[in-house]
Structure 1
Amino acid sequence: MTEPAKAFVSVARTTLLGTATAAFLAACGADTSQGELSMKIFEVAKDASKDLKPKGDGSPDKKGGQGAANPNVIVAKALKATPGPVALVVRLDTKAVLAMNPVGRNAGYVTWGSATGQGLTFRNGVLANTRGLGEDLMSSRIDRAVSAITSRGNASYRREHVYLDGVGESQSLIVNCTLRRTKTEKVALGAINADAAIMKESCRGDEVVFDNRYWVDGRGRILKSSQWVSQEIGNLAIQNLRL
């Protein structure tokens, strides 16, 4: 595992801000105590994910709330100490935060890994499978989704997700999806600073309904996103700090 992935922060749900269990890249600052650093990491994660978590009406939360520690300070230190791409991933149901970086590439798919063994595989920024999260997305057929999302156009298509049931057998979930371009917004965090079109993907199957959102720049890169994994896990908020 390379240095950018040596981080994992778990935020307890039973406290106001929670307690972090590990520091994010010790090289980020020897003059900062582990507790202070952990709090800064949480603020970064909160800042990165607060407008990705759906509200009751299905639309993203607006930015606001009390002032927090400037996330750019810790992000700048992380980027200085960390070569190559790096991202923060927030599991929205538990507020667990992972720092991840690419650990493998194969035929257009890129796998990102964490120091604690979780893995996310993407195709052009669209989540294709997960490992180590629980009810993992084992595989998927998302070619039409990827093409539509990265080209930033309205579209309709099907997705197929594959999961393991209680006896280890593969079960397919097929959903019908619509993709709509909503508005343009600047994404600025870490080394990312670009205008992006917000693409809203709404999917429905026999027993499941979910929404995904993607901030896609003019080059077709997904700068940040909220992507659904499974009924147990829900959505992950994914904020790239450097691509």
Structure 2
Amino acid sequence: MNTMTKTALCAALTLMAVACGPLNENNISTGALKAVQARFGGAQAAPAPTAPVLTRAQVDANPGGFMVLNAYNGTLVAALAAGGSNDNRVTWLSADGLSVTTQNGIMVATRGFPRDLMAADVNGVMQALIAGGGTATRTHETLSDTDQIANQRFACTIASQGRETVGILGRQIGTEVFAESCQSDRLSFTNRYWIDDTGRMVRSLQAIAPDSGYIQLDRP
């Protein structure tokens, strides 16, 4: 990562407004869930093109106010609008009740999926991205089949994958791509982040939880 990109990323992670307290402890839903699978189901899909659920005019009229979610290999595409925020977290809401909470672009909670990520601590991942790569530990909270909160820790390695130009709502954006490979005693997954030259995360492909797989998030 060059000096300009590294400095911009550091500034963006500090300043970019992206809801919930630590590990979302006040926002835990109930309901029986299936047992944790050995791995996240299926192979990780390549990023899908942004579907026309938003127009460029809508986005330009409200800069930073929207995100596009693409799940289940493109069979679910939804526009998300920025909702409540708390410190550096923001909750993005869809018209049909889905929500994703991000911390500087990194997903820390979901609601409305077959199996949700209830909360996550990703501070170490953000620091590794600022540094241009490294190792980190992330912690996830999920519900057990008895509605108890279960914590799981993942050892992760973050590394640059080089440059890539991505197209989002008619704009071509130069980015640096980072892969985050994580492993616990039962699960493994790889997230990817596309960060532009101003330090803004314009695209990501992130694992939710077993039974829900990966979602792509685009910032038009």
**Fold-level similarity (TM above 0.5):** yes
Distance 1:137 1:61 in 2: 21
Distance 2:142 2:89 in 1: 19
Number of the residue aligned with 1:43: none
Q: Is the 8 A contact 1:140 1:161 kept in 2?
A: yes
Q: Is the 8 A contact 1:163 1:172 kept in 2?
A: yes
1:1-243 aligned within 5 A: 61=46, 74=52, 78-82=55-59, 83-84=61-62, 85-92=65-72, 95-149=75-129, 151=130, 153-190=132-169, 192-241=171-220
User: Runs ≥4 in structure 1, deviation > 4 angstroms?
Assistant: 60-63
SS of the residue corresponding to residue 145 of structure 1 reads: helix
Q: Which has the larger radius of gyration?
A: 1
Alpha-carbon distance, 1:209 to partner: 0.8
SS of the residue corresponding to residue 147 of structure 1 reads: helix
Distance 1:216 1:62 in 2: 14
- Structure 2 residues not aligned, in runs of 5+: 1-41
- Structure 1 residues not aligned, in runs of 5+: 1-54
Normalised to the residue count of structure 2, the TM-score between the two structures is 0.72
Q: Deviations over 1:139-196 (max 9, x none)?
A: 11110112222x2611101110000111211001111000010111122322754311
> For residues 219 and 147 of structure 1, do their structure 2 counterparts lie closer, same or farther at Cα, with a shift above 3 Å needed?
farther
Number of the residue aligned with 1:17: none
- Which has the higher relative contact order, 1 or 2, with Cα contacts under 8 A spaced 6 or more apart? 2
Normalised to the residue count of structure 1, the TM-score between the two structures is 0.65
Q: Is the 8 A contact 1:153 1:180 kept in 2?
A: yes
